[in-house]
């Protein structure tokens, strides 16, 4: 499973980067909801609040085969070409237990917020938290030591065991971070 580098949100501008917005049919809306529920089973009791059946769902097409799921002018999720869904950070802040999390050392914060991917040494320090059993390709929320909210959403590029044994290379491919274009312009009107 080759990693897909979703870098578009670093300099995301809805006016330029959204090529098409379309209201989806109810069958597509059910399919998206089902896939989101498969990936995030802990959201089942909140699904009607996040992706209500009666509200229109908009899919905004962006470069690099990225689709944004928009409800009430807010991006709720975005997906890559493999139909892997990732939550927007605003949604992740509302439902912090929706997915697995890693906690990085404080020293990596400035690099992540300036657009870098999370490297293995940022997850192997004394203050970092790396749960066992994470596999390459797993979606994760990235927290920083001592911070209450996630500062990014990403995809594991290596397993937990590989990170601990190798301690070098990209550990988490960052897709969306605080301060990027999607964070700054959360509405896709």
Q: 79 φ, ψ to 5°?
A: -130, 155
**What is the pLDDT averaged over residues 10-37?**
86
Per-residue model confidence (pLDDT) at position 6? 54
Lowest-pLDDT range of 7-11, 52-56, 183-187: 7-11
Bridge-based pairing of strands 101-104 and 139-144 is: parallel
- Residues pairing with 170 in the sheet: 119
The edge-to-edge listing of strands for the beta sheet with 20-23 is: 20-23, 57-62, 66-71, 74-79, 85-87
Per-residue model confidence (pLDDT) at position 120? 95
CA–CA gap between residue 158 and residue 51 (Å, rounded): 31
Residue 113: strand, helix, or coil:
helix
Cβ–Cβ under 8 Å, residues 60 and 188: yes
Per-residue model confidence (pLDDT) at position 1? 39
**Share of residues in the chain with pLDDT > 90 (%):** 66
């Amino acid at each position: 499973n080759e990693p897909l580098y979703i870098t578009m949100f670093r300099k995301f501008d809805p006016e330029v980067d959204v090529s098409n917005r379309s209201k989806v049919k109810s069958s597509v809306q059910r399919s998206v909801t089902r896939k989101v529920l498969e990936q995030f089973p802990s959201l089942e009791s909140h699904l009607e609040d996040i992706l209500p059946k009666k509200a229109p769902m908009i899919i905004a097409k962006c470069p690099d085969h990225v689709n944004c799921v928009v409800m009430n002018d807010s991006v709720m999720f975005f997906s890559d070409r493999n139909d892997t869904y990732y939550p927007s950070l605003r949604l992740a802040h509302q439902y912090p237990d929706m997915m697995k999390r890693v906690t990085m050392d404080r020293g990596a914060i400035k690099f992540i917020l300036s657009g870098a991917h999370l490297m293995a040494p940022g997850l192997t320090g004394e203050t970092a938290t790396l749960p066992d059993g994470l596999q390459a390709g797993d979606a994760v929320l990235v927290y920083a030591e001592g911070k209450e909210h996630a500062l990014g959403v990403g995809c594991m590029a290596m397993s937990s065991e590989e990170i601990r044994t190798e301690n070098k290379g990209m550990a988490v491919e960052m897709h969306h971070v605080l301060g990027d274009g999607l964070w700054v312009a959360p509405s896709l009107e």
